[in-house]
Structure 1
């Protein structure tokens, strides 16, 4: 049970230290999997041709799968611990702000940190009570979710199927995101929200802006300047609306089937966020340097040829178009919600040419430790970890070069 004293006296940095330990261990295990599969199993498989050699290679590949699974589970634990660290940290800040208000107005608190009944000032008493309730609820919800998730991961220690382990990693990612969302006082009056926001440190505000831009932007009481910063100060398109579209539509049917709809999904999100189409006077969207779509006939086979630009649904075409027209490529450490992730083939793959950009996704959150969460369509996933899933992409598709592009449309 989470109590006022428990939050007040908690040491959230211990959750962070534990998370860092799991990060180091996960990376060590991932490297071990790479070494076993690539340097040992592959060589045995290639140079020991008899049945004994094939059996030895199979055992080594199975060991690599176990290590891959262990990496996913360790990374999942890290995510849960990171979520607890951030939740307890912001809960403490909220309680401190309640205590500060009580001291400022001479309002007495009981042993559980709740304001005692007084006549005046009623509004301040209400704000203190709301902040107290918010801190207790968010810490309790995060604690319950973390306990359940860690129990599930503990029970899965012996898992050997990397796909199953990856699914658990995805669940843990959602648990981490829920901890951030729970820190936001949704439903409180604007005055209480403003007091809550003012009690957070600059780094805590920054972390929430990167992790939960949609929830913050929809909250009355957050300064307009903060919302503008999250939306994009140039006003070209609303980055928060782009993220919101992705989070609401990641597993819904597309208006059209372009084959692999990952880039189509990104284009739809950009259009809903307010990015204007680039069209020729006579060519519509079918010109060599256009971006957009037009109302079609309803027949996919015809519409995708005549009413969708070649930059709309092709990952490399879209990437090159955005970079040509004002976009910038940013390093992963500078990614923020509303950026686009492109996967460029780096290693050998029989179906993808080396150097070809073949996949696109949307950055929907960035965690305090720099971990990028993305959302994608066609093999649909929401708020999953780029770092956590990349080893599996490398295993299935070959080595990838991740390019993160921030559009700055220059045609309007």
Structure 2
């Protein structure tokens, strides 16, 4: 258990420094894996085809797999430490806020962070409210610190036990689990839904501008659902143009990532993005004469309940085609943003750059929903086929490029101009 005294004397920057060191180690391991494949395994396989050459190439492949697995595990440690750093900083900001409240209302604090005494009945409503807020903030700060401590200890122990993994696919699953643990820490940093709005407001006011910005990008669904958060902050998360609700888009993706889509296409990644946009309130663009199948449409006109027919006759070409959807969104008010500018509710598109026998160069072939952006800029996305929730773009991209070739990541922010 983390005590209040331990919390206010913590050094969160040490966790950040450690996270940066683990990130550097992960990058080194990945670069080494790529070098072994390109400079060792590939030349041997291309130029030494007898039994000895094949065996030597196989040894290089095993070494590369070990290094790639190390990358995933090291990155898992990095994201857990990032989560601990963020949680400690937020908990300490909450502790500072309750200290300021206590000082403003002449309420002395004990070593446990609680007021030494209740305000007298004659002290007035403001003092009584301040007392209640101090207690709530103290409980919130300790909840954050203890949950972060518990999750960090458990996840680092789990990753330690996974050190011997040399299968990149298994190591990637470990990285995904660590990514989810980081999200659990952030969720614990936010007051519960039934928290008194005044306490929520006091908590929010105690955060720095950057901390508020970080939480709005990392946990928009939880933050927007709290009573006591300023309406302008909620409007920023939902989308200031009012065309569709970005928070509802993220919420749909997070809640339906492992559920069957209402209609099934051969590839459902872009279909899933369209479903999320649809549930977020984006209005359909239907041609008067040709319905959903017109050349400049997005949406559907229902169907007869048979997917093989509905997908060809009642859904637009932009509904489930990644390149068609990307081009349509950019044509109709959307903007392409850099990865550093990404925020929840944006759409990730994968454009083929490297050689691939099945995907033409320059073709956009995959789409996913940005569902979180971490304080350090790491983008987490949610997708269908294959189905993943809140996984790291930076963490998973090397695996994608190993199997499919180099990719250009394009991030598009829709701003529909047809209504």
TM range (shorter): over 0.9
**1:394-409 matches, cutoff 5 A:** 394-409=401-416
Contact 2:107 2:117 in 1 (8 A): no
1:338-396 deviations in whole A, cap 9, x for unaligned?
00000011111111111111100000011111110000011100000000000000111
Kindly indicate whether residue 280 of structure 2 is the aligned counterpart of residue 273 of structure 1: yes
> How many pairs does the alignment contain?
412
1:53-76 deviations in whole A, cap 9, x for unaligned?
000000000100001100000000
**Counterpart in 1 of 2:238?**
231
TM-score by length of 1: 0.99
Kindly indicate whether residue 186 of structure 2 is the aligned counterpart of residue 180 of structure 1: yes
**Counterpart in 1 of 2:78?**
78
1:273-304 deviations in whole A, cap 9, x for unaligned?
11110011121111011000121100111101
Equivalent-residue separation in structure 2 for 1:408 and 1:204 (angstroms)? 27
**Counterpart in 1 of 2:350?**
343
SS at match of 1:374: strand
Equivalent-residue separation in structure 2 for 1:260 and 1:143 (angstroms)? 41
**Counterpart in 2 of 1:165?**
171
> Which consecutive aligned stretches of 4+ in structure 1 deviate over 3 angstroms post-superposition?
none
Kindly indicate whether residue 151 of structure 2 is the aligned counterpart of residue 145 of structure 1: yes
**Counterpart in 2 of 1:126?**
132
**Counterpart in 2 of 1:314?**
321
Post-superposition offset of 1:247: 0.5
Post-superposition offset of 1:116: 2.6
Equivalent-residue separation in structure 1 for 2:200 and 2:113 (angstroms)? 19
Equivalent-residue separation in structure 1 for 2:257 and 2:300 (angstroms)? 20
Kindly indicate whether residue 12 of structure 2 is the aligned counterpart of residue 12 of structure 1: yes
Post-superposition offset of 1:191: 0.4
Equivalent-residue separation in structure 2 for 1:395 and 1:132 (angstroms)? 48
1:128-175 deviations in whole A, cap 9, x for unaligned?
000000000111011101100000101111110111110010010011
Equivalent-residue separation in structure 2 for 1:220 and 1:71 (angstroms)? 41
Equivalent-residue separation in structure 2 for 1:264 and 1:115 (angstroms)? 54
SS at match of 1:169: helix
**1:51-66 matches, cutoff 5 A:** 51-66=51-66
Equivalent-residue separation in structure 2 for 1:375 and 1:128 (angstroms)? 37
**1:325-336 matches, cutoff 5 A:** 325-336=332-343
Q: Which moved more, 1:178-187 or 1:80-89?
A: 178-187
Post-superposition offset of 1:193: 0.4
- Give the gaps of 5 or more residues in structure 1: none
Root-mean-square deviation (CA, aligned residues, Å) is: 0.8
- Give the gaps of 5 or more residues in structure 2: none
Post-superposition offset of 1:39: 2.0
Equivalent-residue separation in structure 2 for 1:287 and 1:349 (angstroms)? 31
TM-score by length of 2: 0.97
SS at match of 1:383: strand
**Counterpart in 2 of 1:154?**
160
**1:239-318 matches, cutoff 5 A:** 239-318=246-325
